[in-house]
Amino acid sequence: MSADPDSGGWAAAPDLAEAASAWSRWLAEERRLSAHTLDAYRGDLQGFVSFLAGHLGQPPGLPEIGALRQADLRAWLAERHQRGMAKSSSGRSLSAVRNFLRWLSRNGHADASALAGVKGPRAPRALPKAIAPEETGELLAAVEDSDGEPWIAARDLALLLLLYGCGLRIGEALALRRRDAPAPGAESLRVLGKGRKERVVPVLPAVAEAVAQYLGLCPYALAADGPLFLGARGKALSPRILQRSLQAMRLRLGLPDWTTPHALRHSFATHLLGGGGDLRTIQELLGHASLSTTQRYTGVDAARLASVYRSAHPRARKPAS
């Protein structure tokens, strides 16, 4: 069953399906959500409507949505729990459904304001896992000296340095155009992040030099409006290629299993914080909409300090037997 409200087989009455399609267009055109997030929101709404069809005994329409009670939403969350759905997944799904219900209320389709008070399951927030500075250096050195095509090694090093040196998401790095490439000596880079929000990040000389090295070795002609990073066949590079390459390097070097492209972004933030960077600056560099998201990195640094304390303080050591 497709998650697209415009497709057949969706368990909703025509008026609700039409409203869901309009909401989906609003998310894409006004909120400018990424295709991945948009698909997730559509799937979350489809799952909720499918539950309601069984819960109410008929495909729901706008009148049924307007008549929903908080108990109906809690029944949906309970059903997800019984199916073994993770709390984080249910929390995200509830967020998507609430978004749709608020949109219905604002646009006069159905009054679902009574459902605003339903709270989702509280999921524990895992701390971001950073790679230790010495392990990061070991990884970058191994990528630079790896066997195979020199231009591919240069490409992978430039990419990883953009993640670790500038704090980019892998999707942001792969979305860069050739014209966006920082030239040697460049001090900043414009990045288009989530929600199509643009931010400016500083560029370390090592990052600009790595990108220039890749450009000098790349065997393909790069159009100014074309992708900056290409795969072996000259097409836009897939994130999966970099992920597989990094996984192989991780196994070879014996690095932690959380050594992923995104962990380099976590390392960027954690190492900056450990070096005295302030949260507001790190928030801007990462492109976080909320400071609370950035504050998770204080937990990483606190955990590291506690580990050092336990291993180094005389009173924290266990007495020898």
Instruction: Give the pLDDT score at 178.
Output: 95
Residue 250, judged by CB atoms within 10 A of its CB (0-12, 13-18, 19+), counts as buried
d(CA 154, CA 214): 5
| Listed residues 115, 149, 173: the one ending a domain | 115
Within a domain: 216: yes
Q: Taking Cα atoms as reference points, which of 264, 74, 72 lies closest to residue 158?
A: 264
Indicate the number of domains in the chain.
2
Within a domain: 149: yes
Same domain (yes/no): 184, 50: no
Same domain (yes/no): 184, 232: yes
Instruction: Give the pLDDT score at 194.
Output: 75
Same domain (yes/no): 142, 245: yes
Same domain (yes/no): 197, 306: yes
Instruction: Give the pLDDT score at 289.
Output: 64
Instruction: Give the pLDDT score at 125.
Output: 61
| Listed residues 115, 141, 156: the one ending a domain | 115
Tell me the whole-structure pTM to 2 decimals. 0.57
Same domain (yes/no): 58, 137: no
Within a domain: 126: no
Q: What is each CA distance from 226 to 161, 163, 178, 229, in whole angstroms?
A: 21, 20, 6, 9
What is the set of active-site residues? 169, 194, 262, 265, 288, 297
| Listed residues 115, 144, 163: the one ending a domain | 115
Instruction: Give the pLDDT score at 269.
Output: 82
Instruction: Give the pLDDT score at 313.
Output: 43
Write out the two tokens for 61.
């329409």
Same domain (yes/no): 147, 239: yes
pLDDT profile of the chain (321 residues), mean per 10: 45 91 92 84 92 92 90 89 84 88 89 73 64 86 85 94 88 92 85 79 89 94 94 92 89 86 84 72 71 59 49 50 47
Within a domain: 225: yes
Same domain (yes/no): 202, 166: yes
Same domain (yes/no): 90, 29: yes
Same domain (yes/no): 76, 191: no
Report phi then psi at 3, rounded to 5.
-85, 5
**Which CATH number characterizes residue 187's domain?**
1.10.443.10
Within a domain: 302: yes
| Residue 177 bridge partners (DSSP) | 227
The domain in which residue 44 lies consists of 14-115
Within a domain: 144: yes
Instruction: Give the pLDDT score at 1.
Output: 33
Within a domain: 127: no
Same domain (yes/no): 160, 96: no
SS3 letters across the chain: CCCCCCCCCCCCCHHHHHHHHHHHHHHHHCCCCCHHHHHHHHHHHHHHHHHHHHHHCCCCCHHHHHCCCHHHHHHHHHHHHHCCCCHHHHHHHHHHHHHHHHHHHHCCCCCCHHHCCCCCCCCCCCCCCCCCHHHHHHHHHHHHCCCCCHHHHHHHHHHHHHHHHHCCCHHHHHCCEHHHCCCCCCCEEEEECHHHCEEEEECCHHHHHHHHHHHHHCCCCCCCCCECCECCCCCECCHHHHHHHHHHHHHHHCCCCCCCHHHHHHHHHHHHHHCCCCHHHHHHHHCCCCHHHHCHHHHHHHHHHHHHHHHHCHHHCCCCC
Same domain (yes/no): 175, 287: yes
Same domain (yes/no): 190, 250: yes
Report phi then psi at 236, rounded to 5.
-55, 135
Within a domain: 178: yes
